[in-house]
Amino acid sequence: MYQVYVRSFADANGDGVGDLAGVRDRLPYLRDLGVDALWFSPWYPSPLADWGYDIADYRSIDPAFGTLDEAEQLIAEARALGIRTIVDIVPNHVSDQHPWFRSALASPAGSPERERFWFRPGAAPDGELPPNGWQSIFGGPAWTRTDDAGVPGEWYLHLFAPEQPDLNWTHPDVWAEHEDVLRFWFDRGAAGVRIDSAALLVKDPHLAEETPQYGAGEHPFTDRDGLHDIYRRWRAIADGYPEPRVLVGEVWLPDPDRLARYLRPDELHTAFNFDFLGCPWDASALRTSIDTTLALHEPVKAPATWVLSNHDVDRHVSRYGRDDTSFSLQARNHSQPVDLERGTRRARAAVLLTMALPGSVYVYQGEELGLWEVEDIPAALRQDPIWHRTGGADPGRDGSRVPLPWSGLEPPFGFSPPAARTEPWLPQPKEWRDLTVEIETGDPDSMLELYRAALRIRRAEPGLGDGPMSWLPATSGVLAFERGGGLRCVANLSDGPVDLPAAAAVVLASGPLADGRLPADTAVWLRAAPGGS
Ligand code: TEU
């Protein structure tokens, strides 16, 4: 699955912003890369308070990206190349410019229009304090007070930015609207949806405060049991199509058993594996993460997913080039030195490790080029509300959203056409001249050719598909496992070279071997010789 962040993929009309025409032009690139499906981050009309995750109209396309007609053509053209389309659905909140919220603001306290959201009177005698102490995931209080023609009024809930009011999922309109939106996209050929913030929709009706400890399902706004009824309804809709549609959840939960509940046979098909994404570059930690992942999926018979990067996290070339290679959304740290050469070597090994595992793999646009996190975007050009709302304490996500380099030796590197009027919406590092699609194509040592080769082999080898994996004995710091058809993956995360099994042929390597040994931070796919060990 290839994640397209349209705004940064390719700009066909020269306004510095990627668009659907840019994606359509590059569908052959995506076919040649070898992906099965595209997941589009939100492409709907949006005032961009959260770069598309604040949706004003769920049934249309942002004019900066194109038209609904173009989206339908894109879905059909991709399908003709064997590539399916997954659209991003944001059910937790809408934009403050969505008609529902506008009419709620225009209506008095207690009106039916306000019941689709979480409007509450403030605490304290005059209501000048928020109804409770919940904090926004983007920083600051999760409540904003309305202003009724100059008179301070009720407060409304927003777990993200104030421009993203949370919907009230106890309201039947909210259910009906989202079910209709699902059908709208499924009817237009979307093969499925990625469900944003999927564990946050249901809130404690009493708005209880967060506490340091709480029992399973008792957090006031995360992973509440009522969510599962919503996804069962959605699954019934998805299954109602002759070619059933797929539901992919963005579910960040530390407890694997709780996560597995979303993947029961009548709920979501898959959920992103954020444990693996945040795992440090450490053999035993990765092994534990892989084992935990497979164990949690086994009882519910759902496919595992493997994700190294997305539009919310630091690109993994940079993560793996730091001293601390772990990642957490709560502790994004751009003040650490980054060894890009080492990070790139590890990223190459990581993709062979990942693509050898059973389940589905998500590739975030640009990782196939080896792009790194751009950590030095000037403050005046920063866009992410996380950066703004934390006063820069959290560097935010702009660095993973920089427009892709396609060709040429200078920015915008073919992202925009040569006669473009405007610079790309985020500045590209000049060093990306070495990471363009043009430069990497045909270079056997490039990240792009490694991805192409790995995806080609993964598609051709039944042994790399569904099915078991078994760990092989290995020295400390080395991960070695076998898949079907005698295929093996060996990844060396130790400090020095290790021996490879003698009776095995190398199918693909993330870097050169040294006298037949596997160097540090290198991975290989091997085929065991018949009768070999
Ligand atoms: O991200 C959700 C998000 O920010 C989670 O990381 C959140 O911390 C978690 O659900 C808390 O349990 C999605 C999008 O990927 C992101 O780009 C958006 O900004 C966000 O939702 C709001 O729509």
- For 90-149, what is each residue's pLDDT tens digit? 999 999 999 999 999 999 999 999 999 999 999 988 999 999 999 999 999 999 999 987
Give the C-alpha distances (Å, rounded to integers) separating 118 from 94, 144, 158, 170.
Answer: 12, 11, 8, 10
Asked if residue 252 has its Cβ within 6 Å of ligand 1, the reply is yes
Amino acid 438: pLDDT:
98
Cα-to-centroid distance, 92 and ligand 1 (Å): 10
SS (H, E, C) 407-439: CCCCCCCCCCCCCCCCCCCCCCCHHHHHHCHHH
Amino acid 405: pLDDT:
98
Backbone dihedral angles phi then psi of residue 415, each to the nearest 5 degrees: -60, -45
Give the C-alpha distances (Å, rounded to integers) separating 311 from 2, 41, 48, 321, 346.
Answer: 12, 9, 15, 19, 20
Task: Indicate which atom in ligand 1 lies nearest the CA of residue 253.
Answer: 12
Backbone dihedral angles phi then psi of residue 278, each to the nearest 5 degrees: -80, -5
Per-residue pLDDT for 515 more than 70?
A: yes
Note the pLDDT tens digit of each residue in 317-364. 999 999 999 999 999 999 999 999 999 999 999 999 999 999 999 999
Cα-to-centroid distance, 199 and ligand 1 (Å): 10
| Cα atoms found within 13 Å of the Cα of residue 239, Cβ hemisphere only | 11
Mean of the per-residue pLDDT values of the chain: 96
Task: Report which DSSP code applies to 484.
Answer: G
What are the beta bridge partners of residue 247?
193
Close Cβ partners of 403 (under 8 Å, ≥ 6 residues apart): 7, 8, 9, 11, 18, 412, 415, 424, 425, 426, 428
40 CB-contact burial (10 Å; exposed 0-12 / middle 13-18 / buried 19+): buried
Distance separating alpha carbons of residues 228 and 235, to the nearest angstrom: 10
Note the pLDDT tens digit of each residue in 19-37. 999 999 999 999 999 999 9
The token pair at 521 is 């931070």
Q: Using alpha carbons only, what angle is made at residue 310 by residues 284 and 361, rounded to the nearest 5 degrees?
A: 60
Cα-to-centroid distance, 165 and ligand 1 (Å): 14
Note the pLDDT tens digit of each residue in 54-74. 999 999 999 999 999 999 999
Asked if residue 394 has its Cβ within 6 Å of ligand 1, the reply is no
Question: Which residue among 50, 158, 262, 312 has the greatest number of ligand 1 atoms within 8 angstroms of its CB, and so is best to mutate?
Answer: 312
Asked if residue 160 has its Cβ within 6 Å of ligand 1, the reply is yes
Asked if residue 53 has its Cβ within 6 Å of ligand 1, the reply is yes
The token pair at 242 is 């002759």
Cα-to-centroid distance, 85 and ligand 1 (Å): 21
Q: Is the peptide bond before 130 cis (omega within 30 degrees of 0)?
A: no
Question: Which residue among 48, 90, 196, 400 has the greatest number of ligand 1 atoms within 8 angstroms of its CB, and so is best to mutate?
Answer: 196
Task: Report which DSSP code applies to 330.
Answer: G
pTM of the model: 0.97
The token pair at 105 is 């603001």
Mean pLDDT along residues 209-224: 95
Amino acid 252: pLDDT:
85
Amino acid 72: pLDDT:
98
Amino acid 503: pLDDT:
80
Distance separating alpha carbons of residues 129 and 365, to the nearest angstrom: 43
Mean pLDDT along residues 268-294: 96
Task: Indicate which atom in ligand 1 lies nearest the CA of residue 92.
Answer: 23
- Cα–chain-centroid distance for residue 371? 16
Asked if residue 136 has its Cβ within 6 Å of ligand 1, the reply is no
Name the residue at shortest CA distance from atom 14 of ligand 1: 196
Close Cβ partners of 431 (under 8 Å, ≥ 6 residues apart): none
Amino acid 148: pLDDT:
81
Contact 371, 378 (CB under 8 A): no
Name the residue at shortest CA distance from atom 10 of ligand 1: 197
| pLDDT band for position 531 (cuts 50, 70, 90) | low
Distance separating alpha carbons of residues 102 and 326, to the nearest angstrom: 42
Note the pLDDT tens digit of each residue in 154-208. 999 999 999 999 999 999 999 999 999 999 999 999 999 999 999 999 999 999 9
461 tagged catalytic:
no
Question: Which residue among 7, 55, 197 has the greatest number of ligand 1 atoms within 8 angstroms of its CB, and so is best to mutate?
Answer: 197
Asked if residue 329 has its Cβ within 6 Å of ligand 1, the reply is yes
Which one is catalytic: 250, 312, 314, 394? 250
CB atoms within 10 A of CB 212: 4
Characterize the bridge pairing of strands 487-492 and 84-89: unpaired
Per-residue pLDDT for 533 more than 60?
A: no
Asked if residue 259 has its Cβ within 6 Å of ligand 1, the reply is no
Cα-to-centroid distance, 192 and ligand 1 (Å): 19
Give the C-alpha distances (Å, rounded to integers) separating 67 from 26, 74, 102, 181, 403.
Answer: 18, 11, 24, 17, 21
Name the residue at shortest CA distance from atom 9 of ligand 1: 252
Note the pLDDT tens digit of each residue in 434-489. 999 999 999 999 999 999 999 999 999 999 999 999 999 999 999 999 999 999 99
32 tagged catalytic:
no
Cα-to-centroid distance, 197 and ligand 1 (Å): 5
